[in-house]
Structure 1
Amino acid sequence: MNHLFGSTAKNQEPEAPQVQPDTDKKVPAASDIIQQLGQTAVPTQGESNVYCLTIIGQIEGHLVLPPQNKTTKYEHLIPQLVAAEQNPRIEGLLIILNTVGGDVEAGLAIAEMIASLSKPTVTVVIGGGHSIGVPIAVAADYSFIAESATMTIHPIRMTGLVIGVPQTFEYIEKMQERVVRFVTAHSKIPEDTFKELMFKTGELNRDIGTAVGGNDAVKYGLIDGIGGIGEGLAKLNSLIESRKSEQAAGGITQ
């Protein structure tokens, strides 16, 4: 004898199973994004019209650095910049730098991407913007530096196996010129002044170059002004409004 528990009819069809919501597709928590990318939100999720991008520690390029190094991975920054450029809700980018430098080609790639963005950009150097961090700092439409921050300008250096042939030195010289051309093209510092600071001896311990403070960076024309987060956001909002006015005058809609 078959018993139907809780049924009112002998031939009642069993209830269809309830579809459970897909729990695999969860929105990543802010703590996870901070751990992976150093960001509080990815460009597609934020409510603000300004996207903040942080570049801290050492810029990691084609080689993975030891785990004890604080690094910014360029393969994380590039898709974020692309996403910010594509997102219509993002109207401007604020880039915060506190970096010791790192991989030359990775740093130049980041700098070129920032310079090629169609949306207004402002960089703020806090703590330090050393070595290849210099091109990134000047890549934006406007740059600020904290008065207590410094920027170390020195020739590029190579690690690992170096083949002692003339072609190696020519390659280093060409890469050096790439850095010089980019910095002088995106700032007000003359090329002769920049090279003089780069190859100066006696100032840096065990190295050639110059440590430039905040006020001196502005004096040389390397950075546009002294300021921090407040000044950077104020300038960025001003650039955003100017862009909107130009688009309205030209009949351009986004």
Structure 2
Amino acid sequence: MAAKMLRRTITARKQLSSQVRQIRNSRQASNIRELGQVNIPETKSNIHCLPIVGQIEGHMIIDPKNKTTKYEHIIPQLVALEQNPEIEGILFILNTIGGDVEAGLAIAEMIASMSKPTVSLVLGGGHSIGVPIEPISLPTA
């Protein structure tokens, strides 16, 4: 009887391991891991919240111990939000000490060029390159 239970446990663990591998190797997990690309969740809200938290990471890789927001993750999300007819406005939650100047300016320029209303809410800090993101996003509100 114990041998039978052991076989069932081993079989269940193998199936679970197989499922975990499938999830890790799935396209969605790969997109999140490699590109930071996520699908905008289908929601009934017409306002999308987009956090910019930690250092803004651009062309230089910052120490993985630091909290970062990568501009190559934000830009595709901004494009997707701009093209989504169901999204009528964007709320940026900003808490940054700054970071890569070129990356921050790229984000700020993308926000400024959006046709949809944008509002930024600064929680914590909006320092250094975070400063241009804050005021540029306010006038369209």
The answer, yes or no, to whether TM exceeds 0.5 is yes
**Contact conserved, 1:101 with 1:129, CA < 8 A, in 2?**
yes
- How has the CA–CA distance of structure 1 residues 67 and 27 changed in structure 2, closer, same or farther, with 3 Å as cutoff? closer
- Greater helix share, 1 or 2? 2
Question: Match of 2:134?
Answer: 137
Question: Match of 1:80?
Answer: 77
Structure scoring higher RCO (CA < 8 A, sep ≥ 6) equals 2
1:224-243 map, 5 Å: none
- Is residue 2:89 matched to residue 1:92? yes
- Is residue 2:34 matched to residue 1:49? no
Instruction: Report the 3-state secondary structure (helix = DSSP H, G, I; strand = E; otherwise coil) of the residue aligned with 1:62.
Output: coil
TM-score by length of 1: 0.41
Q: How far does residue 28 in structure 1 lie from its aligned partner after superposition?
A: 5.3
- Please report the RMSD computed on the Cα atoms of aligned residues, expressed in angstroms: 2.8
Bigger Rg over Cα: 1
Question: Match of 2:113?
Answer: 116
Instruction: Report the 3-state secondary structure (helix = DSSP H, G, I; strand = E; otherwise coil) of the residue aligned with 1:138.
Output: helix
1:159-178 map, 5 Å: none
Query: Gapped runs of 5+ residues in structure 1?
Result: 1-22, 143-235, 240-254
Instruction: Report the 3-state secondary structure (helix = DSSP H, G, I; strand = E; otherwise coil) of the residue aligned with 1:135.
Output: helix
Query: Which runs of at least 4 in structure 1 moved beyond 4 Å after TM superposition?
Result: 26-29
Total equivalences in the alignment: 115
Query: Gapped runs of 5+ residues in structure 2?
Result: 1-21
Instruction: Report the 3-state secondary structure (helix = DSSP H, G, I; strand = E; otherwise coil) of the residue aligned with 2:61.
Output: coil
2:108 alignment partner AA: A
Instruction: Report the 3-state secondary structure (helix = DSSP H, G, I; strand = E; otherwise coil) of the residue aligned with 1:101.
Output: coil
TM-score by length of 2: 0.71
1:105 alignment partner AA: E
